[in-house]
Chains A and B, each alone.
Chain A
Amino acid sequence: DAGVIQSPRHEVTEMGQEVTLRCKPISGHDYLFWYRQTMMRGLELLIYFNNNVPIDDSGMPEDRFSAKMPNASFSTLKIQPSEPRDSAVYFCSSSWTGTDQPQHFGDGTRLSIL
């Protein structure tokens, strides 16, 4: 079975540009999570969805960040406008039935904002 699929794997762009990260969860998983990982702050939860509905977005750092899940097999995380401090690895994960279940992570998107 395919795991969580993220794209792109790497993104380098200039400050002020819009960045869109994409994620396809494991089929049948009802929960989807977006994380950001940096050396300084570790792995931080940004937002999670249950059945395509955002449940908790309190980890989204600023209004520049937004996330959508238009259907069960696709989610996006958008940053507009991007800033150098947004540089990090962004992971998407999914789980079957709840936040208390094992999560399976995608390979991540390494984002560099110049």
Chain B
Amino acid sequence: QKEVEQNSGPLSVPEGAIASLNCTYSDRGSQSFFWYRQYSGKSPELIMFIYSNGDKEDGRFTAQLNKASQYVSLLIRDSQPSDSATYLCAVNTDTGRRALTFGSGTRLQVQP
């Protein structure tokens, strides 16, 4: 079992819709959770981070964390074609390497 799992996609949504990106993780001791956006040929760019159960909102982005279910998600409201990218979920494990483990990413396509 991979430590951090994401559906590779592509996830295709129409412009203006809500895009929902999901991530599950295996280490129950995980404490910190991050979403990065990566455009093709570019470096990962931090979008959101969340440490506590519940929702955290920043503009059109909402991160949701459920530690009991070992699940973290990213919602993008009013999706724009410029949101088309690969979204990487990253989890900081509290054991072992004590460093970020990245999922393989979900490719999002927003159709105009």
Kindly supply a per-residue 1/0 record for chain B positions 59-102, scoring 1 wherever the CB is within 8 Å of any chain A CB and 0 otherwise.
Answer: 00000000000000000000000000000100010000111111
- The answer to whether B57 has its CB under 8 Å from any CB of chain A is no
Which residues of chain B (9-38) have a CB below 8 Å from chain A? Answer: 31-32, 34, 36
- The answer to whether B45 has its CB under 8 Å from any CB of chain A is yes
User: Is A105 touching B102 in the complex (CB atoms < 8 A)?
Assistant: no
- Give the number of chain B interface residues (Cβ < 8 Å): 22
A21 to B100, CA, bound (A): 22
Contact among B32, B44, B97 for A100, CB-based, below 8 A: B32
A102 to B100, CA, bound (A): 10
* Residues in chain A near residue B98, CB distance under 8 A: 56, 99
Number of contacts between A and B (CB, 8 Å)?
Answer: 46
Interface size bracket, A side:
20 to 34
Smallest CB–CB gap between A89 and chain B, Å? 8
29 contacts across the A-B interface (CB closer than 8 A) = A42-B102, A42-B103, A43-B88, A43-B102, A44-B102, A45-B97, A45-B100, A48-B99, A56-B97, A56-B99, A58-B97, A91-B44, A99-B92, A99-B99, A100-B31, A100-B32, A100-B51, A100-B92, A102-B34, A102-B46, A102-B49, A103-B34, A103-B46, A103-B100, A105-B44, A105-B45, A106-B43, A107-B42, A107-B43
Interface residues of A (CB under 8 A from B): 33, 42-45, 48, 56, 58-59, 91, 99-108
